[in-house]
Amino acid sequence: LLEIEENSANIYYELGHLYLKKNDVINSVNAFKLALDKDTENPFYHNALAYALVKAEQYEDACEHYKFAIDKNPDPEWTAIVCQALASLYHNVFDDIDTAVDLLKTAIILDENNDEIFVELGDIYLQTDDIDSAIKAYCEAIKLNPKNAVSYNKCAMALWKKDYLEEAIIAYHKAIAIAPDYYSAYNNLGVIYLDGIRNLREAKKLFETAISIKNDYVMAYFNLGRVLQEQGKSIEAAKSYQK
**pLDDT tens-digit map of 9-36:** 999 999 999 999 999 999 999 999 999 9
Q: Own/partner pairs for 7-16, CB < 8 Å, 24+ apart?
A: 7/38, 8/38, 9/34, 9/35, 9/36, 9/37, 9/38, 9/39, 9/42, 9/45, 10/35, 12/38, 13/44, 13/45, 13/48, 16/48, 16/49, 16/52
pLDDT band at 188 (very low <50, low <70, confident <90, very high): very high
pLDDT band at 6 (very low <50, low <70, confident <90, very high): confident
Letter for the amino acid at 152? Y
* Confidence at residue 2, expressed as pLDDT on a 0 to 100 scale: 86
56-96 residue pLDDT tens = 999 999 999 999 999 999 999 999 999 999 999 999 999 99
Enter the DSSP assignment of 214: -
Enter the DSSP assignment of 74: S
Report yes or no: 85 and 51 within 8 Å, Cβ to Cβ.
yes
109-140 residue pLDDT tens = 999 999 999 999 999 999 999 999 999 999 99
Report yes or no: 102 and 110 within 8 Å, Cβ to Cβ.
no
State the helix-helix crossing angle for 115-127 and 97-110, rounded to 10 degrees: 160
What is the spatial distance between Cα 104 and Cα 202, in angstroms, rounded to a whole number? 39
* Confidence at residue 114, expressed as pLDDT on a 0 to 100 scale: 97
Backbone angles phi, psi at 224, to 5 degrees: -65, -40
% of the chain beyond a pLDDT of 70: 100
Neighbours of 47 (CB within 10 A): 25
Between CA 136 and CA 83, with CA 86 as vertex, the angle to 5 degrees is 60
**164: alpha, beta or left? (left if phi > 0; alpha if psi -120 to 50):** beta
Letter for the amino acid at 84? Q
Report yes or no: 122 and 138 within 8 Å, Cβ to Cβ.
yes
**pLDDT for 193 beyond 90:** yes
* Confidence at residue 204, expressed as pLDDT on a 0 to 100 scale: 98
The Cα diameter of the chain in Å comes to 76
101-110 residue pLDDT tens = 999 999 999 9
pLDDT band at 7 (very low <50, low <70, confident <90, very high): confident
Average pLDDT over residues 164-170: 97
What is the spatial distance between Cα 139 and Cα 142, in angstroms, rounded to a whole number? 5
199-220 residue pLDDT tens = 999 999 999 999 999 999 999 9
Between CA 90 and CA 97, with CA 91 as vertex, the angle to 5 degrees is 95
* Confidence at residue 85, expressed as pLDDT on a 0 to 100 scale: 97
* Confidence at residue 5, expressed as pLDDT on a 0 to 100 scale: 86
* Confidence at residue 61, expressed as pLDDT on a 0 to 100 scale: 98
